[in-house]
Structure 1
Amino acid sequence: MKKVTTLFLKIAVILLGVPVLALCIFLVPEIGNVTAELLPEFAYIKYLVSIIFYASAIPFYFALYQAFKLLRYIDNNKAFSQVSVNALKKIKYCAITISCLHVLVLPLFYLFAEKDDAPGVIFVGLVVPFASMVIAVFAAVLQKLLQEAIDIKSENDLTV
């Protein structure tokens, strides 16, 4: 049963990467072009936006890789080990990095909302940083719980 659930989660991790890859290929250049149209006096902003979005894809895929490794540790009965704690720590740092990078792009969402007179666009721009911070907090909580469980396990091993 455990192998089936981790297999399902591994497939889900892989499938999470596909839409982000599609967004990087198709949507990021379009966002760059829209930004260049919004701010024609700052033509270089197109490249800055593309760099920020592509740079945020790197920690995203690294976090997916760490999640995949974490699922392998669970399969190999190494869930309560220091390598699992390290994987959660890396996931936390990746989520914080993604959130910080997307906060840098928020002024562009504001400019777009002003130009298009659509204030809801700002909330759309807040989705990714907020979701990333939720993931970072969740990973931090899991990391702390797992570290405490490992400490209790090692303490019990020493007393026996």
Structure 2
Amino acid sequence: MQRETLFLKISVILMGLPVLASCIYLLPGIAEFFAELNPKLAFLQYPFLIGLYVTAIVFFAALYQALKLLSYIDRNQAFSDLSVKALKNIKTCALTIGGLYVAFMPLLYLMAEADDAPGMILIGLIIIFGCLVIAVFAAILQKLLKKAIDIKSENDLTI
């Protein structure tokens, strides 16, 4: 099991690297481009950046919870309340990211309208849908894990 969880830990870290790189190099340029493209809405440049950075922070919190969950699996604590809590935090992070993107959809619409790029709206909708899928999946896993823990504790009491 160590090899599989090590592979997953490396995968989680590799998922975070492009997001970190885009936060450092790509996002400020996108915000400046939007401000130049639509000078009337240039004042939205910084709220846009703040929203994306908050989203990135929540994403990294979810990745951290995934790493914690994998470390619980490594230590044979997969069926514990700690794992249930990590799944709950992942679900909360996914819902938070989805909510932030829903809140920033009007801004994405304005950017897409100014740049004549309807794909930006589609990207925002895909992110929202992906967050909802992750949140539902984490909620289902959380309930299943909680039931398994309850059954395990009930079996421990009968023996």
TM-score, normalised to structure 1, is: 0.93
Please give the alpha-carbon distance, in whole angstroms, between the structure 2 residues aligned to 1:77 and 1:50.
41
Aligned-residue CA RMSD in angstroms?
1.3
1:106 correspondence with 2:115:
no
| Aligned residue runs from structure 1 range 1-160, under 5 A | 2-160=1-159
Cα pair 2:37 2:115 within 8 Å, conserved:
no
Please give the alpha-carbon distance, in whole angstroms, between the structure 1 residues aligned to 2:112 and 2:56.
24
Post-superposition offset of 1:106: 1.4
Following superposition, which runs of at least 4 residues in structure 1 exceed 6 angstroms of deviation?
A: none
CA deviations 1:87-125 (Å, max 9, x no partner) are: 000011011111111222211222233233333331122
CA deviations 1:47-101 (Å, max 9, x no partner) are: 0000000001111111111110111100110000000000000011011111111
Q: 1:157 to 1:70 in 2, by over 3 A?
A: same
Higher mean displacement: 33-42 or 91-100: 33-42
Cα pair 2:38 2:114 within 8 Å, conserved:
no
Higher mean displacement: 47-56 or 110-119: 110-119
SS in 2 for 1:43: helix
Please give the alpha-carbon distance, in whole angstroms, between the structure 2 residues aligned to 1:154 and 1:62.
30
Structure 1 residue ranges without an equivalent (≥5): none
AA matched with 1:82: D
Please give the alpha-carbon distance, in whole angstroms, between the structure 1 residues aligned to 2:10 and 2:51.
28
Q: How many residues align?
A: 159
SS in 1 for 2:140: helix
Post-superposition offset of 1:129: 1.6
AA matched with 1:4: R
Please give the alpha-carbon distance, in whole angstroms, between the structure 2 residues aligned to 1:55 and 1:72.
26
CA deviations 1:121-154 (Å, max 9, x no partner) are: 3112212221111111111110010000001111
